[in-house]
């Protein structure tokens, strides 16, 4: 039985993570110039926590919760006609997800000194989750929720499924006075595919302004009249392009994590062929120096 006893003591780890978040959608694109110029000022933050279980040598299962902020603004597109649209947003996202991790490369003794103090796992993952989101825009110094205003005369849900997919890696190590590797530091790039085009409250075309529910909805649906020197003060005609409905919105994060490997079962009868703390069989473990 390859997954009990000595190795099974250390299959769980729990930790936290923090990093940067970015959004990809109708208010982030830039044509004909370096898109990094838009991504950089749009970069915001992400914080979260997670728990992970090692399923076997190559696979792990991880559950996590994250809180992140994404933003976008037409004003960042200085060389694009989109600047005249003059829309912007922010969105505080609360996300919960689960994912399957695969470890294609495992180095059990980083440095090759036969002390097994540090290991390294290269990681790829894919999962599924849900995200609660609430796009807002600023008006007269205050942030206004956009979804209830129906700025395109369309209703959409604040809860959407997401598919996280990405790459990363982590090191697990022990301190001078520890027998087992218990500390884990990692880094990852995580892209979330979404099935909504309203993360930024912009998707398709301008509606008939008479059908919008309020004056505030009309004011926040079209803001081109706030750009000095544009000269377009009237609300655009119904059906004029406001966004691109052919491409769904998305967001992504780059995060650094720390977790602690938990010691759980201590009464197992069986020993595995492979130990996740040492990377060796029991016979090899007895020969190791500590």
Q: Which two tokens stand for residue 15?
A: 């930790």
Name residue, tokens 């120096």. Answer: 289
Contact (Cβ atoms closer than 8 angstroms) between residue 7 and residue 55: no
Contact (Cβ atoms closer than 8 angstroms) between residue 159 and residue 131: yes
Entry pTM: 0.84
Contact (Cβ atoms closer than 8 angstroms) between residue 203 and residue 154: yes
| Tens-level pLDDT at each residue, the chain (290 residues) | 343 344 457 789 999 999 999 999 998 755 444 444 555 678 999 999 999 999 999 999 999 999 999 999 988 877 667 778 899 999 999 999 999 999 999 998 887 776 678 899 999 999 999 999 999 999 999 999 999 999 999 999 999 999 999 999 999 988 877 778 889 999 999 999 999 999 999 999 999 999 999 999 999 999 988 887 765 678 899 999 999 999 999 999 999 999 999 987 655 443 444 455 444 444 444 444 33
Strands 118-132, 159-173: pairing is antiparallel
Q: What is the pLDDT of residue 80?
A: 66
Which domains occur in the chain, in start order? 8-286 (2.40.160.20)
Adjacent-strand bridge partners of 91: 70, 135
Comparing C-alpha atoms, which of 155, 161, 92 is closest to residue 131?
A: 161
Q: What is the pLDDT of residue 234?
A: 84
Q: Which two tokens stand for residue 85?
A: 């649209």
Residues in the chain: 290
Neighbours of 90 (CB within 10 A): 18
Q: What is the pLDDT of residue 247?
A: 92
Q: What is the pLDDT of residue 273?
A: 44
What lies within 8 Å, CB to CB, of 277 at 6+ separation is 7, 10, 116, 180, 181, 261
DSSP 241: B
CA dist 227 and 209 (Å) reads 20
Q: What is the pLDDT of residue 132?
A: 98
Q: What is the pLDDT of residue 89?
A: 96
End-to-end Cα distance, the chain: 27
Q: Phi and psi of 84, rounded to 5°?
A: -75, -20
Q: How far is CA 221 from the centre of its chain?
A: 28
Q: What is the pLDDT of residue 8?
A: 54
Q: What is the pLDDT of residue 112?
A: 72
CA dist 29 and 247 (Å) reads 11
């Amino acid at each position: 039985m390859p997954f009990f006893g000595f190795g099974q003591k250390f299959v769980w780890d729990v930790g936290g993570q923090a990093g940067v978040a970015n959004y990809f959608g109708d208010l982030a694109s830039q044509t004909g110039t370096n898109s990094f110029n838009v991504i950089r000022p749009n970069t915001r933050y992400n914080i979260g926590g997670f728990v992970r279980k090692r399923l076997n040598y190559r696979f792990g299962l991880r559950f996590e919760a994250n809180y992140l902020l994404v933003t976008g603004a037409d004003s960042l597109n200085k060389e694009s006609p989109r600047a005249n649209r003059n829309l912007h947003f922010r969105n505080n996202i609360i996300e919960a997800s689960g994912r399957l991790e695969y470890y294609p490369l495992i180095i059990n003794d980083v440095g090759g000194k036969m002390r097994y103090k540090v290991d390294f796992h290269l990681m790829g993952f894919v999962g599924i989750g849900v995200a609660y989101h609430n796009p807002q825009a600023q008006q007269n110094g205050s942030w206004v929720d956009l979804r209830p205003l129906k700025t395109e005369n369309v209703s959409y849900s604040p809860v959407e499924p997401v598919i996280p997919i990405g790459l990363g890696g982590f090191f697990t190590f022990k301190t001078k006075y520890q027998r087992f590797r218990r500390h884990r530091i990692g880094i990852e790039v995580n892209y979330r595919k979404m099935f909504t085009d309203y993360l930024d409250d912009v998707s398709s075309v301008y509606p008939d302004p008479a059908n919008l529910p309020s004056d505030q909805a009309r004011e926040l649906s079209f803001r081109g009249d706030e750009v000095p020197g544009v000269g377009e003060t009237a609300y655009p005609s119904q059906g004029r392009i406001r966004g691109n409905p052919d491409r769904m919105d998305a967001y992504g994060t780059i995060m650094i994590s720390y977790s602690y490997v938990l010691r759980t079962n201590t009464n197992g009868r069986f020993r595995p062929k492979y130990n996740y703390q040492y990377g060796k069989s029991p016979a090899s473990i007895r020969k190791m120096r500590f």
